[in-house]
Amino acid sequence: MNDIAIDLQRIVKTYKSGSIEVQALRGVTLRIERGEYVAIMGPSGSGKSTLMNVIGCLDRPTSGNYHLDGIDLSALDDRALAKIRLEKLGFIFQGFNLLPRTDAMKNVSLPLFYAKVSPRERRERARAALAEVGLADRGHHKPSELSGGQQQRVAIARALINNPAVLLADEPTGNLDSTTSEEILALFESLHRAGRTIVVVTHDEEVAERADRVVRLRDGLVLSDTPTARGHFSGGSIVPQEATPQS
Amino acid sequence: MLDYIRETLELMQANLTRTILTLIGLVVGVAAIISIQVAAAGMAAAVSGAFRGINVNTFFIFPKSTQGSTQRANLGLSDLTLLEQNVPGIETAIPFGQTRTIVSAGHQHVMLKFGGESYRRFSTAPVVAGHAIARTDVENASPVCVLSSKAFARLFPHAVDPSTVLGQSVYVGPKRYVIVGVLGPATLSTASLGFDINNDVVIPYTTFYNDYQRGRPLFGIQVLGSRDATLATLEANAKRVLSQAHGGSIYQTFDFGFFTKQIDGFFGVVGTIVSAVGAISLLVAGIGIMNILFVSVSERTREIGIRRAIGASRATILIQFFVEAFVLAFSGSLVGMLAGLGIGELAQQLFIARISGTIAALPWTQAMLLATLFATVVTLVFGTLPALRAASVDPIEALRYE
């Protein structure tokens, strides 16, 4: 086991658009420990979406090293990266991104389907995951039959079901009203207390404040990396946490 | 895998009209190809069924019509012996002769086919009462007859047991023939081919010759080959022997292979045309399916992105869309197969059964294999591009896509 969940070293990402090269990330070094709750902030164009895609293994850095849960990702092919996304990462999106024609149970158990888990076990684990986010009785509802907050909780259950090393949330409250946002943030906090590693990408200061640590990006570089008022550590030095993810 | 199949079926249901329109071409193509196969198989069975009533090692020999008028080519009774003695493999040869005439028994007067038969029988119908024409009947040209089951039923409508009519007489004009045997129930006949050599009432061919053919050259000779002789050899030898005896005159032979060839030829042509139409509609259908799959891929770009983000590899997405293509193609093929079998069965019931009285069993296994084959080919040929496009969807782009 590794205490470092995410280890980014001098990550550079360059996009080519015709003859113009755009440097989205210009050497980001960032280390996130197991059990941390980190917010990544920055104005649009700061590279935070690109960083999230790199952390989420949806995009490859042009240069630099990335270790996720102790695994060096630079040499992995598409199939292996898909496996990493499946086993090590849980995605939570602004737009929920549930499969529209599929009920909550099926949505939640989809990662298990790709992990080739038996249908019986898929059902049992999906039921348990829905119960964990307080939607035990909504298993057979389709996304269109659920409120925004409920849909996001289904998405969180889906992200949790493979017991990932990192929960990666992209503007998780962006499409929700303040009351529902509060519910989702409270859920994140309880997951954090239970030992989950959570990375939230947001431009919302209120959302960022709920994390332990805020990383601010500007022009593809880390501008600041500071603990919040709630943070368990200070001065940028990292205090290892005892908590481990629960299954 | 099962989940993909279920999902595809749900999608097809959700877009029912679109699905039906897409699959019509496939249904038509598969139905056309399968129905023509069923019909051809039915026809083949009908032809062999039609020949079941008669010994298949039978052929006919006639003087070539262009020289029918020349005396030299005329066939006579001596030619029968000539053939029997000089061509190995010929069991018997009799004058070809058949008339439709009024046959009477008591108060019944019925139009029946009436002709000669040898003690070595051309007919394969079983004898159910009495006996067939005997050798002595032929040698003595006895005034006896054997009735087919049809003749028995028509001439003796009130008799139940055929053995009760043995010893009674039938009349053809002034001539009287004693019934010595009755044949079994309706054998299939060659009547459907426009030409039936199974007679309703037969008498010894010598009797028939004496009573109806005397003094005229024979119209033709009907030959029965032994079971193990090949018709082609027999026919060639018979022609040669007769030709030598008649100073180089030319004879032609004729057997049931002729009909089989004609029918095979007909179904060959029809089959080729229908298969070509089927192939074209399969091509059109395949393009339709490809189109619908492309639509499906672009409609579901976001879904593909979600699946990829969650952990589906490119290969998994590729498989998903192949499964989708296959389910689509297979359901079309399956409907086409059922329609094709249905049309084939209908054709058999309406036309072929009337001709032959037989219906060939539906080729379920073959049809199933064919449908699966079509579905697979269509999937591989027309599903590959859409599946590749689905697999190449960039999850980052797809998730940004609203």
List, in order of start, the domains of chain A with CATH numbers: 34-62+75-227 (3.40.50.300)
pLDDT at site B236? 85
Residue of B nearest to A164 (CA): B310
pLDDT at site B86? 85
* Residue of B10, B303, B310 with shortest CB distance to A86: B310
Q: How many CB atoms lie within 10 A of CB B317?
A: 22
At B53, is the pLDDT very low, low, confident or very high (cuts 50, 70, 90)? Answer: low
Assess B307–A contact: CB distance below 8 Å, yes or no: yes
Using DSSP, state whether B149 is helix, strand or coil: helix
Residue numbers of A between 111 and 150 with CB closer than 8 Å to B: 111, 113-115
Residue B277 Cα, gap to closest chain A Cα (Å): 38
Which residues of B are less than 8 Å from A93 in CB distance? 399
* Residue of A53, A79, A111 with shortest CB distance to B310: A111
pLDDT at site A12? 93
Helices B314-347 & B301-310, crossing angle to 10 degrees? 130
* Residue of A95, A99, A114 with shortest CB distance to B316: A114
- B395/B196 Cα distance (integer angstroms): 75
pLDDT at site A203? 87
Question: pLDDT higher for B10 or B313?
Answer: B313
pLDDT at site B338? 93
* Residue of A53, A78, A82 with shortest CB distance to B396: A53
Assess B1–A contact: CB distance below 8 Å, yes or no: no
Residues in a beta bridge with A213: A38, A227
CB B283 within 8 A of CB B92: no
Which residues of A are less than 8 Å from B11 in CB distance? 101
A114–B3 CB contact, under 8 Å: no
pLDDT at site B66? 65
Which residues of A are less than 8 Å from B306 in CB distance? 97-99
A82–B311 CB contact, under 8 Å: yes
pLDDT at site B49? 57
Q: What is the pLDDT of residues B363-374, one digit of tens each?
A: 888 888 888 988
Assess B308–A contact: CB distance below 8 Å, yes or no: yes
pLDDT at A55 over 90: yes
For B193, B234, B320, the CA distances from B383, given in Å and listed in that order, are 48, 57, 11
Count residue pairs from A and B with Cβ separation < 8 A.
61
Residue of B179, B180, B175, B169 lying closest to B211 (CA atoms): B175
At A33, is the pLDDT very low, low, confident or very high (cuts 50, 70, 90)? Answer: very high
B313–A162 CB contact, under 8 Å: no
pLDDT at site B401? 59
Which residues of A are less than 8 Å from B310 in CB distance? 85-86, 91, 110-111, 114, 158
B308–A113 CB contact, under 8 Å: no
Return the structure tokens found at B382. 């027309």
Assess B388–A contact: CB distance below 8 Å, yes or no: no
Q: What is the pLDDT of residues B137-178, one digit of tens each?
A: 888 889 999 988 888 888 898 888 888 889 888 999 889 999
pLDDT at site A32? 94
At B192, is the pLDDT very low, low, confident or very high (cuts 50, 70, 90)? Answer: very low
List of E strands, B78-166: 90-95, 98-105, 108-117, 127-130, 144-147
Which residues of A are less than 8 Å from B14 in CB distance? 101
Using DSSP, state whether A6 is helix, strand or coil: strand
Question: pLDDT higher for B70 or B318?
Answer: B318
Assess A239–B contact: CB distance below 8 Å, yes or no: no
Model confidence, pTM: 0.68
Assess B315–A contact: CB distance below 8 Å, yes or no: yes
pLDDT at site B193? 45
Quote the mean pLDDT of chain A. 87
Mean pLDDT confidence for A4-10: 93
Which residues of B are less than 8 Å from A58 in CB distance? 308-309, 395-396
Return the structure tokens found at B112. 């029946």
Residues in a beta bridge with A67: A7, A72
Quote the mean pLDDT of chain B. 82
Across B32-41, B98-107, B194-203, B258-267, which has the greatest mean pLDDT? Answer: B98-107
CA B132 centroid distance within chain:
30
pLDDT at site A30? 93
Mutation target for A interface from B12, B306, B394, B402: give the one with most A CBs within 10 A.
Answer: B306
pLDDT at site B90? 86
Mean pLDDT confidence for A34-51: 90
* Residue of B11, B313, B399 with shortest CB distance to A82: B313
Strands of the B221-225 sheet, one edge to the other: B90-95, B221-225, B58-63, B251-255
Mutation target for A interface from B310, B317, B323: give the one with most A CBs within 10 A.
Answer: B310
* Residue of A58, A114, A158 with shortest CB distance to B312: A114
- B138/B16 Cα distance (integer angstroms): 75
Residue of B252, B188, B224 lying closest to B50 (CA atoms): B188
Return the structure tokens found at B214. 């005397």
* Residue of A100, A106, A114 with shortest CB distance to B310: A114
Q: Which of A28-42, A101-115, A135-149, B342-356 has the lowest mean pLDDT?
A: B342-356
Residue A92 Cα, gap to closest chain B Cα (Å): 10
A101–B14 CB contact, under 8 Å: yes
Which residues of B are less than 8 Å from A59 in CB distance? 396
Residue of B nearest to A100 (CA): B303
Q: How many CB atoms lie within 10 A of CB A16?
A: 9
Map out the domains of chain B as residue ranges: 2-51+260-400, 55-255
Assess B302–A contact: CB distance below 8 Å, yes or no: yes
CA B300 centroid distance within chain:
51
B310–A58 CB contact, under 8 Å: no
At A11, is the pLDDT very low, low, confident or very high (cuts 50, 70, 90)? Answer: very high
Mean pLDDT confidence for B220-229: 82
pLDDT at B386 over 80: yes
Q: What is the pLDDT of residues A83-94, one digit of tens each?
A: 999 999 999 988
Q: What angle do CA A71, A128, A172 make, to 5 degrees?
A: 60
Residue A239 Cα, gap to closest chain B Cα (Å): 31
Mean pLDDT confidence for B325-349: 89
ipTM: 0.87
B396–A97 CB contact, under 8 Å: no
Tokens 């990493």 belong to residue? A84
Q: Which of A54-58, A138-142, B191-195, B328-332 has the lowest mean pLDDT?
A: B191-195
Residue B312 Cα, gap to closest chain A Cα (Å): 6
pLDDT at site B92? 86
pLDDT at site B280? 85
At A237, is the pLDDT very low, low, confident or very high (cuts 50, 70, 90)? Answer: very low
pLDDT at site A2? 61
Residue B402 Cα, gap to closest chain A Cα (Å): 9
Mean pLDDT confidence for B181-206: 68
Mean pLDDT confidence for B71-87: 82
* Residue of A53, A106, A114 with shortest CB distance to B311: A114
B313–A83 CB contact, under 8 Å: yes
Mean pLDDT confidence for B20-32: 85
- A109/A159 Cα distance (integer angstroms): 10
B311–A111 CB contact, under 8 Å: yes
Mean pLDDT confidence for A64-78: 90
B310–A56 CB contact, under 8 Å: no
At B200, is the pLDDT very low, low, confident or very high (cuts 50, 70, 90)? Answer: confident
